[in-house]
Amino acid sequence: MKSVFNLFFVLFFSSVFSQNPYGSVFSGEMLIIDYRGSFKGKSFIYDEWNRGMLVLNDSVFSKQDFLQYDTYKNRVLIKNIDNLKEIIEITDKSLTGFCIIEKKRNLKHDFVKLNSSDFKGFTESGFYEIVFNIQNTNYFIKRNTKILFDPNRSKGTMTHNNLPLELKDKTIYYIKNNNGLYVKVRLKRKDIKAVLTENTKLIDTYIKREKIRMSKESDVMKLVNYYYSL
């Protein structure tokens, strides 16, 4: 049942990286877009541009000094290195993943492109973040999205305020089941144990011994990796 994910993002600081500008790496269309939000808040997953890399066909790596993921519109953006005022949306279909180095906390975030066929039940195709773990496994992932929130509404009725709409973060979690499909879960004991259905006695013992909190992302990651190590 153990399956190690060959995570190509570990090559981030290696010499395998393509040092070419983005224009000589991508064969697909790249659009120059007007990046101005009309809502309160930012559609970026992080508040500022970060270093990172783009991955084509799991084999071509392109280092970027200015990269962001627009979670509201589900698009990957970079800056034109010759004109930093220009924002470019990567539309190349061969884009299979990307990595962002979060500047503020110096954390690496790996994203992989998944299709709806990779999930149990209907789930939108797109980029999903692999929950960080030292083992570099892909058993536990999440979808980072943004939703529009209307602060003028209170219990279903409009107030007299005229406040702008706000972008709010929303995270959806998935755990890989025994058939290799991702299942949507809440960080709750019932949901998680409904996916981890084998070796239940060992799992229960581990939860108790390690004091696993099902509401904590890092604890769930430890539990899922333990499950797939049995």
Counting every residue written for the chain, the total comes to 230
Distances (CA, A) of 172 to 21, 31, 143, 175: 34, 29, 5, 11
pLDDT digits (tens, 9 = 90+) for 85-132: 888 888 888 899 999 998 888 888 999 999 999 999 888 899 999 998
CB under 8 Å, gap of 24 or more: what pairs does 155-160 form? Answer: none
pLDDT digits (tens, 9 = 90+) for 50-83: 999 999 888 889 999 999 998 888 889 898 888 8
pLDDT digits (tens, 9 = 90+) for 91-101: 888 899 999 99
- Amino acid in position 34: D
Task: Delimit the domains of the chain by residue range.
Answer: 8-187
User: How many angstroms separate the CA atoms of 136 and 197, rounded?
Assistant: 22
pTM: 0.80
Quickly count: other Cβ atoms within 10 Å of residue 11's Cβ.
14
